[in-house]
Amino acid sequence: MVTDAMGRATTAVVSGDLGAAEEVISQDAVIDTVRDDIEARVVSLLARQQPVATDLRTLVATLRISADLERMGDLSRHVAEIARRRYPGTSLPAVLRPAIEEMGRVAQQMATKVRQVLETKDPQAAAELPFDDDAMDEVHRSTFQYMADGAWPHGIETAVDLTLLSRYYERFADHAVNVANRVIFQAARVGSAHE
């Protein structure tokens, strides 16, 4: 859901697609509900099973991962809200669209990798996500350099939108890395428990 949300949010903000923006905004409540359900299940298991060692670490990691994924959904919603505020236009001049499209592409790629890492529990695949985050950080930096070069012709409102958008994508990537790091930690703990 998070991968899809960021893809549609990027489409909404780049092309001024109000329908896509509204879908992302309404879908965020579903992501929140899933997170709430996961939390309730974990709390129930903690109360009824009193897990220890690896099982306890798994449950705590699950709580943290679900919180990171829910936050990624929130950040997608924030991107969509900017698109909705600027409708029927778009908040981005044509010259800035490639940067946001690239941030959206990297964000979706990272979310897809997060899903694969969660499904496979592969610490090596998880270790690749910080490199994707470096790519996101580079686009984030270049966007700010473009705004700060002294010849910004697009006005204050666009500068604010671009600043927020860039930050939302950058934080989305950070949460993806958090999930990957939790998988790496969990795999290391399980590995050391078997030694």
Q: Indicate if the pLDDT at residue 194 is higher than 90.
A: no
Q: Indicate if the pLDDT at residue 195 is higher than 50.
A: no
Q: Model pTM?
A: 0.91
Ordered domains of the chain (ranges, CATH):
2-194 (1.20.58.220)
Q: Indicate if the pLDDT at residue 139 is higher than 70.
A: yes
Task: Express each pLDDT in 146-191 by its tens digit.
Answer: 888 778 888 888 889 999 999 999 999 999 999 999 998 887 765 5
Pairs from 104-107 (Cβ < 8 Å, separation ≥ 24): 104/6, 104/7, 104/9, 104/10, 104/11, 104/14, 104/169, 105/10, 106/132, 106/135, 106/136, 106/139, 106/169, 106/173, 107/6, 107/10, 107/136, 107/169, 107/172, 107/173, 107/176
Give residue 154's pLDDT: 85
Task: Express each pLDDT in 48-101 by its tens digit.
Answer: 988 888 888 889 999 999 999 999 999 999 999 999 998 887 768 888 899 999
Q: Indicate if the pLDDT at residue 18 is higher than 50.
A: yes
Top-confidence residue, 148 or 120? 120
